Amino acid sequence: MAVVRFGVSLEKELLNELDNFVAQNQFTNRSQAIRQLITNKLVKKKTEENKEVAGAITLVYDHHKRDLLNKLADIQHDFYDIILSAQHFHLDHDNCLEIIAVRGKAFRLQNLANKLISLKAIQHGNLSINNDK
Ligand code: NI
């Protein structure tokens, strides 16, 4: 994609805050930081407007918990149309990490994530929406 340069005028205080943000997040320059801030804002807006987005649901659970694997499979089959792939990692003897890549209408992604994460046996769960496509 073509890169276009443009000038930005900012109050000195705001520029100082931007430079702190750049340093704290280890961006290589201001442009990279501003690019991410704009993208985050646009993705957030698309999510709020229930547009088509893509992201990942991350789950951590103990696979010994009764019925959990069946419930996880049942829910995912109800949302097969928005699931791109699922990857399962055995973290140790008990714990599993599952990463489910999803794409579709934002509200449906959130609905799926909420159903999975709210299962009693899920120790940790998170939905991150990363892209607007
Ligand atoms: Ni496992």
pLDDT digits over 71-119, tens only? 999 999 999 999 999 999 999 999 999 999 999 999 999 999 999 999 9
Which CATH number covers residue 81?
3.30.70.1150
Looking at the structure, tell me whether residues 16 and 65 fall in a common domain. Answer: no
Ligand 1 mean position, distance from CA 18 (Å): 42
Structure tokens at 126: 């998170």
Q: Is the pTM of this model over 0.85?
A: no
pLDDT digits over 30-60, tens only? 999 999 999 999 999 999 999 999 999 999 9
Looking at the structure, tell me whether residues 77 and 122 fall in a common domain. Answer: yes
User: In total, how many domains does the chain have?
Assistant: 2
Structural domain range at position 121: 52-130
Q: Which residues lie below 8 Å from residue 130, measured CB to CB, with a gap of 6+?
A: 43, 54, 55, 56
Question: Is residue 76 assigned to a domain?
Answer: yes
Question: Is residue 2 assigned to a domain?
Answer: no
Instruction: Give the integer Cα–Cα distance in Å for 117 and 71.
Output: 11
Ligand 1 mean position, distance from CA 60 (Å): 10
Looking at the structure, tell me whether residues 60 and 110 fall in a common domain. Answer: yes
Ligand 1 mean position, distance from CA 36 (Å): 34
| Contact present, 60 and 95 (Cβ < 8 Å) | yes
